[in-house]
Structures are given as structure tokens and as C-alpha cells.
Amino acid sequence: MGEDTRDETVVHVGGEPGTPGAYDVVIGRGIAGRVRDLVPESAARALLAHAAPVADLARRLADALADRGVEVHLEELPDAESAKTIEVATHLWGVLGRAGFTRTDVIVAVGGGAVTDLGGFVAATWLRGVPLVDVPTTLLGMVDAAVGGKTGINTAEGKNLVGAFHPPVGVLADLDVLATLPRADLAAGLAEVVKGGFIADPVILDRIESDPEAALDPTSDVLREIVERKIAVKARVVTEDLRESSLREILNYGHTFGHAIEQAESYRWRHGDAVAVGMVFVAELAVRTGHLDADTVARHRRVLASLGLPTRYDGASFEELLVVMGRDKKTRGATLRFVVLDGVGAPTRLVGPDVEDLRAAYEAVAGSAD
């Protein structure tokens, strides 16, 4: 999975260290100070953009960078998805301009997936690209948003429709920061871990099924192992396909329907909760199109429910969700595309499914019976 160093695991992304676009994800406990090592030596200035709940951590990181002689500009961001707007991005561009940031300076994004998405987008667009270091502080951020180089902001028309591919120069995942994460947020992050199990690494599913409570314990070896395994899955896929031209689409398992739920709920749903339902939806769709067996659909529900994640949704009509799915990034023209499974660890594409199969899958997740 990665290279073990002291109490750290290092997962390489994008090829051999030192090659263009390659970077390390450093995973461990009590390693926040390592941010100094990930910020490029050339950086004279750092914009440290952070979520409000991690202000204390952000100040410690700022002090560590200041001790190295870096001029640090701390900026607190709005909460969660409300940070991912063009207005917030414009504000940060103004900060960069007034402080005289150059192409060798750095942006450090500290927070959940929304913060790393926004910070990455600002880094990608300022002077057509400046270095980015991600310090994810949620489980979702560690295993998904901060790894892979996809950045973006939301618009009224949908989630992440405006963005850029911009790999970070390093990612620091300090598992100790998860100790104060609410259980519901931890579970939501585990939805992405479960996704990694279904598309590529069945051992993740085995570990969760054996001890769901340990998977929800931020101090456990089980959580650390499945986090490392999920990051390794994403690293392998991203290394082969940075710009989502083919293989990388498998990482969107459960996301087409999940994103539709998020928009229908005005982003009040946690991303992981929406993806959990989205995975059940595409599993049901896969059964109806001859790809998957019913037992694996039941396994989806069982694993997700064991973590306290939702497996049902009826908050919007099928017709409303179908319109939103038509704007998904994987859609080509008027043709919907879904990632489905032929079996655990065997993802494939389903192009242009019949609307009645889509409706039946919706009714399966909207209903009250398994």
C-alpha cells in the first residue's frame, strides 16, 4: 500500500517521486508538523485557507511555516459547501493579488473536502497554477477530495461543474485530527471508503463487516488500515488516468445519483450520505440491466447500514433527479453514463440505460422494503 516510515505511511501518487505531477500522501498520527516538509523550498508566501472548526490547527501550521521563514496569510472560510462559490474564490484571488503572490508561492488548504476543492481551484487558477498542499481534516477529505488533483466550485446548476485538474505537491493526513470529528461525519467519510472496497479492494469490505465499530473508531488500527487501502486505490487509479478520460470514471461509483440528491437537498445532505444511497441506486440498476446479482446489492445495503449510513431516499421525484443526472459530468450529449459493477472489484460503464430501468432503481431506493 505504501512505504512505512516511523509512524507514517507514504503513498505515492502520479508516478515515481520527483517526476512531474507526482506527490506523496503522508498518513499517520501526530504528524501535522510535517507540513513544513511538503511546502516547496521556493515558497516565500503561503495562503493558509482553513475551515472555522480547525482554526487552532491552522494557527499551529501557520506557526510552523513562519518558523521556516514563510510569510503566512490566514484566511477563514465559510462552512462546508458554502465555501465552494465563485464569490469566495474571488475573495481569495484578491488576497493573493494584494499580497503579491507569485508562481513559486503556495496555497495550503486545511479542512474538509469543500476546503480542499476550493483551495485547489484557487491554486489552479491563480497565475494559471501555483503549488498546493492539502491538509484534509475530515475522513472524507483524506480518502477522497484531497487526493487526485480534482478541484472545483459549485454553481446553481450543479456541483463541481466549474473546476480544473491541479494535483497538489503534497497531502498530509494526520489521523489524530479525526478524534473530534462527529460520528455522523466519520460515517459519511466511510461511504467513500466502502466505495473503494466495492470497485477495487474487497479487503476493505471484509474489515468493515468483521468489526463496523472499529471502522468508526478514529483511534483503531482497522480505521487506519482501511483509510490507507482506500487512498492506495485512488492513487493507483489517478496515476493511470489523471484527467478522467477513462479508468478514473470508476471513482464516480454512486456519484451520479448521489450528486443529484445533494442538489435536490440544496447541499444539506452530507456528500458521503448521498453517495451511500447512490451506490445502492446503481447496484439496483446493475441488477436490472444484467450486470450484478441480488446478493451483492444486499451486501451494499448491509455494509452501509452497519456504519449508520442511509440506503434510501425519496425526498425528490424521479423526474426531478433525472433532470439533474442529465447534467452530470459523465453525461455525453443526452446519453446518461453510469459506473456499475459486474461483481465486487469489477467496475464497468453502463451507457444509455432505459428510463424504465432507471425508474425501477429509483423506486427500489425510495421504497420501504429491501
Binding site for NAD(+), by residue number, is: 79-84, 113-117, 137-138, 150, 159
Is residue 230 within 8 A of residue 236, CB to CB? The reply is no
Distance CA 172, CA 92 (A): 22
Query: CA 138, 184, 286: angle at the middle one, nearest 5?
Result: 90
**Adjacent-strand bridge partners of 170:** 24, 133
Q: How far is CA 125 from the centre of its chain?
A: 20
Binding-site positions for Zn(2+) read 192, 255, 271
Q: Which residue type is seen at 210?
A: S
Least Cα distance to 282 among 341, 331, 195, 239 occurs for 341
Q: Which residue type is seen at 75?
A: E
Binding-site positions read 79-84, 113-117, 137-138, 150, 159, 192, 255, 271
Is residue 292 within 8 A of residue 286, CB to CB? The reply is yes
Collapsed DSSP state (helix, strand, coil) of residue 138: coil
For 258-351, where are the E strands, in sequence order? 337-343, 346-351
Distance CA 112, CA 182 (A): 13
**Nine cell digits for residue 15:** 508516478
Distance CA 346, CA 291 (A): 10
Least Cα distance to 314 among 364, 356, 275 occurs for 364
Distance CA 130, CA 109 (A): 13
| DSSP-assigned letters across all residues of 33-56 | GGHHHHS-TT-SEEEEEEEGGGHH
Distance CA 342, CA 43 (A): 47
